[in-house]
Structure 1
Amino acid sequence: MLPGVATLGVVKCETEREESVAASALSAAARTARNARLLGASVVQHLIDDPALFVMQVSRRLPLRMRVSVGRSLFHLGSRLHGGAGVAALGAVMAGENGRAESQLTGHPAPGSRLRSEVAVLLGRPDLVPSSAPAATRARAAWSLGDLEGAVQLLDAAGSGTTTQARRLRSELAMLTPGFRLAKRRQSGAAPVPGPEERVRVLHLLTNSLPHTQSGYSLRTHNILIGLRDRGIDSVALTRTGYPVMVGKPLCADVDVVDGIEYRRTLPTRLGMTPTERLEQEVDEALRIVREFRPHVLHATTDYRNALVAQAVSAATGIPWIFEVRGLMEQTWIASHPSEELRRRAARSEKVQRIVATEGDLVRTASSVVTLSRTMADVLVRRGVPADRIVLVPNGIDTALLRETMTPRQARAHVAADLPADTLAVGAVSALVDYEGFDTLLHAAAQIIHDDSLPRQVRDRLHVVLVGDGSAAPALAESARELGLADRILMPGRVPRSEARLWVQALDLVVVPRRDLDVSRTVTPQKPVEAMALGRPVVVSDLPALRETVTDAAGRVHGTLVPPDDPRALAEAVAEHLVGGAPPEGERAAARRAAQERTWPVLMARYELAYCGAVQKSFEENHDGE
C-alpha cells in the first residue's frame, strides 16, 4: 500500500468512519433488495411456466428423508382428492416412486389437467401429455423431446406466439444455430500482450462455482484456479447471469473469495427475459472486468453459452479465447431420458443435431481447445477440430491426497458414527444421477448378502455408502428398501467440501458402476483417481473414459474393470475384493504413483501451454504483414 494511503487510513476521523459504515450498510441493503427482486421474478415465472419442475427443484433443497416423506404425503393427499392424480403423481416423483407416478398418469381421468401433464414432462414421459393439455405444456413436451421448432409452432398455432415462453424458446432456438453471434460491442482497443516478466492474466467464464455449488464441475474449476495461481497465472472468474440468486441464494454477495480465488457474479438490476438477453448482460459484465483486469486470455468452460460470451468479448477486445470442453451437452441430455426408446428418439432429434453443429462451430472458432479425455478429444477431431489445437487436461488431484494414510475404520470414526466399526463399506462420493449406475451396485450388494457361498463375515458386514445428492437419490433409497438393503445403506446427502475426502477414506472399496451410455463412454470422472491416490481399491465399469482414468502412462491398469449394467459381474468383483481383504502395499503404492501423474501442479503446465499458444496466435494474426 502507498504510504499516503496508509496515513489517510490512520487519521480518518470518526465521522468519515460512520459514513463509510452507513454507505456499506446501504449497499448491502440495496444488494439484498436487488437479489430479492431477481429471485421473486424467477419464482413467478417458474410457477407460470413449469410449476411441477419448480416444486421438484425446491424439494431437492430438503434432506433426502424429508423429501421422501413430503412426497409420500403429497401422494396420499392426491390419491384422496377428486381429480388429484397430478398431485399424487408429483408426490410419487418426489419420493422416487416413479412407477406409482406413471400409474397415476395413465390410470386416472382428467386428461386435460395441467399439473398431470406437467408431471408427465418432468417424469420424462412427454408421450403421456394429451392433445387437450394447455399449449404451453404441449410446447414443453415437444421441447423435452428435442422438437425445438415444433414447440415454437405449437405456441404460434395456439395464439401464444408473443408470450414470454415463446420468446424464450425462440431465443434458445436462435442460439442453437451455427454461426449465431451475440450483439456486437464497440472495439475497445488492442488486446494486451504479457511482457517477459509479467504474470499472465486470465478471465474465466463459468456456469457455476464454489461456495454455492459443490460439484465435479465447480471443484475442478477451483483446483485449476488454485493451480494456475501457484504457477504464477492470475485469474478472475465470472459466473452466468443470475447465478447464484437463481438457485436459491438471495443473500449472496457480488464477489466471493474462496481460498484466495475471486468469483464474480453477473447480477443485473433486472434479469433479461430471454437466454440471449442474459448472455448479453454477462458480456457487458465481462467487458467491465476486462477494462479493470486487462486479461491476456479468455477461458470459457462448457457449455456453448459460455463460449458465446467469450466469443463476443473476444470480438469486442481482440483478446484470444479458449474453450474447455468438459462434456458433450447432447450426450448428457440424451442420458437424462428414462427409457432406451426415448434415448434413441432423443439421439435423432433436432435438438441434438443443433447442439452438435453449434458446439462444433464454436470449438473450431476458439484459439485453442482443452478437453478431459482422449475419447472426448477423438470426438472433437471428428467434428473438425485440428488435433494439434487440442490440449488434454484430465481430472487432477490435490497432492495432499498422496500423503494420507488413514484407514477406513479410522476415517469412519470421524464421519460415519452410525456404521458398525467392523463394516465393509463400498460405494462412492458422487452426484446421484441415473447414468452413474448406482442402482446396479445396489442389486450387486443384494446378491452378495444372499450368496451363501460367500463367508458370513463378508455378507454380514457389507454396507453401501453413497455420499452426495441428485435427481436419482429418492429412487435409489426406494430401490434399497425394495431389495432389503434399508439397514445396509447409508446416504448422508451432500457433505461439506472439507469432509468429502474423509468419506472416500471411509470406504473399503470405491465403486464407479456407470451405465453404458455415450456420456459415460467419453466423460472421465474424478472419483477413481482420487481413490487411487488415497490407497483405496477401485472397481469401475469397463468403458473407454473410465478405463482411461485407471490406466497409467505405461499402460498399466490400477483397478478392476467390469462390464457395465451387469449386477452379477459387479457382485463377483466386489466380493472378490472384500474376501481378499485390503490390497497389498505394493499395489496401493503403484496406484498412488499412477495418481501422482495427474496432480494439479503437473497438469497446470498444459494450461500455460494453451494460453501462450492462444496469445501467440492472436498476436501473429493481428500483426500479419508488419
Structure 2
Amino acid sequence: MPVHLRSKFHNLVNTVGLVYANITDDPSFFALQIVRKFKNPILQRISRFVLYAPMSKTLREVMLSLLAEDTGRILLVSERWLVNTDRKSSDGLALANACIAVHQWGHAQHILDQLSANRATARVQARMAWHMGNLQEAVDVLSNSGASRQLRHYESELQVLSGWKPVIARQEHQTSGPDKQVLYFATNSLPYTGSGYAQRTHSIVASLPAAGWRASVATRINYPANIGHLLAPPRETIDAVTYQRVLSFPARTDLKGRLQQQSDELMKLVTASRPSVLHTTTDFSNAVSVRAVAHATGLPWVYEVRGQLADTWASTRPDSAQDSERYRLFKAREAEAAKAADHVVTLGEHMKLNLVAAGVAEENITVLPNGIGDKFLEAPVPRLSARAKVSLELDAFYVGTVSSLVPYEGLDTLLMAAALLVPSHPSLRVLIVGDGTERENLRNLAQELGILAICRFPGRVPRDEAHLYHASLNAFVVPRRDLAVTRSVTPLKPWRLLPAVFPCWFRICLLFES
C-alpha cells in the first residue's frame, strides 16, 4: 500500500479507536465534546445524524445545545429537569455531563446531588472531581465503583502529572554535518490550526534559514487526525516550512501510552534527520518527550514557554481550583521541564519572572516577544477599502477584536459596554472575528441585550483576510478579565492597547468623545 494511503488508513483506524475509547468511557460525554474536538464539517454532520436515534426529548435537546455550544439553553434545560417531579435519572446524568462540558460547575453539582448512588452516577461524580482538579478523589470514586476504562485513563494521567517519564534507550547520535539544523516539536500547526501560537511556530521556523539554520517541524502524536483531519498527509510543506506528522499505529488512548509512543516516534525522526538541537513548546507533555530523546542522544534542547497553562485551566473554574491537586502538579511539571532544558524562551518579562521564581536560572532565559508579520507589515489598507472587501458598513463606528473566543478574553464586557452606548451612538457596531467556545454564548448575550442587529460575528476567517478586519476597526479593544493568566501572558492580536486600568466601557466612551 502506498505511504499516503497507509497513513490515511492508520488515521482512520486510530480515530475509530479514539471514538470507541470515549464512547465506552461515557457515550454522552463524548457526544458533548464532539464539536470542540472535531471541527471537521463531515464529522459534525455525522454527529447530527446520530440525533435521529431513539432518545428522550430532554437528551435530544441537550445534544442539540451542545452541538451548537449554546450554554444558556443547557442551563434552561437543567433548571427544567430540576423542578420536574417525573424526571429521568438518565437525563440528569446527561445534563450533569453537559454542564461539566460548558464549565457550569454549580449546576452540575446540583444535578448530581439529586441522583441516586450507582455506578453511572459515580462515573459522572468522578468526572466532576477530575475537572475540578481533585484527581485522587476522582480515582478513588471510580475504584470504589468498579474498574473501567475511565479509571485507567485517570490513573494514567495522574501518573504522568506525578512525574512519570517515557523511557528511551541511550544511543549514539551524529548530527547531519557542519550545517546547523533544528527539529522543532510543536503541539499543532498551520493549516489545520489557525491560532496565534501556530502562526508563531510558522514564523519562527520560516525565519531560521536567514540565520543560517535548517529547520523542520514535527507535530504532536497523531495530530491533526485527532482533531478530525483524517486525510492529512504525513508530510507537507507550507511557505517553505516542512511539517512532519508524528503518527503511531495502533494509537494508545491513555496519556502514558501516548507519550511513550510520541517519544519513540520522535526518536525515529531524530535518528533519520540528525538535527543538532531540539526545540519544543508548552505544555510539559511535549517537553517530556523531547527531554527523553535529548537525554538518549546527548542533544541540547530548548523549551519555549508560551503560556501559563495551569492558570488558563484555573481561569474557567472557582478560585479553589488554584489549591487543587491538578493545579499544583501541573505547575510542578512545567517548572521541572523549564529547569531541565538547556535554554528557555518565553514571551515577556512577567513570564520570565515567573520562571525565575519557579527555579529557572535567569541567564538561561531569553525573552522573545510576540510580533507581527505578513500583511501587517505592509502599508495599512484604507479603512473604507478594507470594509468594502469584507462587506462591512462604510459609515459605521466599529469596535471589536480579532481573537480566539474564550472566556478569559472578556468579550461579554465589550457587548455590555456596547449595549450602554448604542442608544446615544446609533452608528456603533461591534465586530468580533474568530471562533471558540464562547462564540454562541456571545451571540446569545447580544440577543439578550437587544444589540444582535449591530453585532457582526464572521467566525474564523482566512489567514490572508485577517488584516482587513483589523483595518476595518475604529477601535481594537482588549477587555480581558483580570486573571493570573491574563496578567502574565501577553495577547497576540492587538496592534494598539489602551490603558488596562480603564474598564472597557469607559475606554470606548473616551474614543467616542475624542
TM-score by length of 1: 0.74
Q: How does 1:330-479 map to 2 (within 5 A)?
A: 330-337=310-317, 343-398=318-373, 400-415=375-390, 417=391, 419-451=392-424, 459-479=425-445
**Per-residue deviation, 1:400:** 4.7
Aligned match of 1:134 in 96, 108, 121? 121
**Per-residue deviation, 1:120:** 2.9
Percent identity of the aligned residues? Answer: 33
**Per-residue deviation, 1:200:** 1.8
Q: Whole-Å Cα distance in 1 between the matches of residues 285 and 3 of structure 2?
A: 31
Secondary structure of 1:515's counterpart equals coil
Considering only aligned residues, what root-mean-square deviation do their CA atoms show, in Å? 2.5
Q: Which amino acid aligns with 1:115?
A: A
Task: Indicate whether 1:210 and 2:190 are aligned.
Answer: yes
Verify the 8 A CA contact 2:346 2:367 in the aligned structure 1.
yes
Structure 1 residues 191 and 328: alpha-carbon distance in aligned structure 2, compared to 1, 3 A threshold: farther
Q: Which amino acid aligns with 1:336?
A: T
Q: How does 1:69-108 map to 2 (within 5 A)?
A: 84-93=57-66, 94-97=69-72, 98-104=74-80, 106-108=82-84
Task: Indicate whether 1:186 and 2:166 are aligned.
Answer: no
Task: Indicate whether 1:47 and 2:23 are aligned.
Answer: yes
Task: Indicate whether 1:232 and 2:212 are aligned.
Answer: yes
Q: Whole-Å Cα distance in 2 between the matches of residues 141 and 176 of structure 1?
A: 18
Q: Which amino acid aligns with 1:460?
A: P
**Per-residue deviation, 1:429:** 0.8
Verify the 8 A CA contact 2:21 2:253 in the aligned structure 1.
no
**Per-residue deviation, 1:191:** 5.5
- What does the per-residue CA deviation read over 1:552-608, in whole Å, with 9 as the maximum and x for residues that have no partner? xxxxxxx421437xxxx422321322443xxxxxxxxxxxxxxxxxxxxxxxxxxxx
Structure 1 residues 332 and 50: alpha-carbon distance in aligned structure 2, compared to 1, 3 A threshold: farther
Aligned match of 1:110 in 83, 88, 94? 88
In the other structure, the counterpart of 1:320 is 300
Structure 1 residues 377 and 483: alpha-carbon distance in aligned structure 2, compared to 1, 3 A threshold: same
In the other structure, the counterpart of 2:466 is 500
Verify the 8 A CA contact 1:89 1:100 in the aligned structure 2.
no
Secondary structure of 2:230's counterpart equals coil
Secondary structure of 1:208's counterpart equals coil
Q: Which runs of 5+ in 2 are unaligned?
A: none
**Per-residue deviation, 1:209:** 0.8
Count of aligned pairs between the two proteins: 493
**Per-residue deviation, 1:258:** 0.9
Q: Whole-Å Cα distance in 2 between the matches of residues 37 and 322 of structure 1?
A: 34
**Per-residue deviation, 1:190:** 4.6
Secondary structure of 1:394's counterpart equals coil
Aligned match of 1:173 in 149, 158, 162? 158
Q: Whole-Å Cα distance in 2 between the matches of residues 203 and 380 of structure 1?
A: 24
Verify the 8 A CA contact 1:83 1:110 in the aligned structure 2.
no
- What does the per-residue CA deviation read over 1:2-33, in whole Å, with 9 as the maximum and x for residues that have no partner? xxxxxxxxxxxxxxxxxxxxx6xx43332222
Aligned match of 1:119 in 92, 98, 101? 98
Q: Which amino acid aligns with 2:139?
A: V
- What does the per-residue CA deviation read over 1:153-172, in whole Å, with 9 as the maximum and x for residues that have no partner? 11111121xx3222221111
Verify the 8 A CA contact 1:425 1:464 in the aligned structure 2.
yes
**Per-residue deviation, 1:473:** 0.5
> Is 368-377 or 55-64 further displaced after alignment?
55-64
Secondary structure of 2:366's counterpart equals strand
Q: Which amino acid aligns with 2:366?
A: V
Q: Which amino acid aligns with 2:445?
A: S
Q: Whole-Å Cα distance in 2 between the matches of residues 56 and 159 of structure 1?
A: 24
In the other structure, the counterpart of 2:35 is 59
Secondary structure of 1:219's counterpart equals helix
Task: Indicate whether 1:300 and 2:276 are aligned.
Answer: no
Structure 1 residues 120 and 361: alpha-carbon distance in aligned structure 2, compared to 1, 3 A threshold: same
In the other structure, the counterpart of 1:199 is 179
**Per-residue deviation, 1:431:** 0.4
Secondary structure of 1:242's counterpart equals coil
Verify the 8 A CA contact 2:346 2:352 in the aligned structure 1.
yes
In the other structure, the counterpart of 2:511 is 577
Q: Whole-Å Cα distance in 2 between the matches of residues 107 and 91 of structure 1?
A: 21
Q: Whole-Å Cα distance in 2 between the matches of residues 495 and 35 of structure 1?
A: 27
Secondary structure of 1:238's counterpart equals strand
Aligned match of 1:254 in 225, 234, 239? 234
Structure 1 residues 322 and 191: alpha-carbon distance in aligned structure 2, compared to 1, 3 A threshold: farther
Q: Which runs of 5+ in 1 are unaligned?
A: 1-22, 338-342, 452-458, 532-537, 539-558, 581-626
**Per-residue deviation, 1:105:** 5.2
Q: Which amino acid aligns with 1:189?
A: E
Q: Whole-Å Cα distance in 1 between the matches of residues 134 and 383 of structure 2?
A: 49
Secondary structure of 2:482's counterpart equals coil
- What does the per-residue CA deviation read over 1:310-343, in whole Å, with 9 as the maximum and x for residues that have no partner? 1110111000111111111210111122xxxxx2
Verify the 8 A CA contact 1:118 1:137 in the aligned structure 2.
yes
Verify the 8 A CA contact 1:373 1:524 in the aligned structure 2.
yes
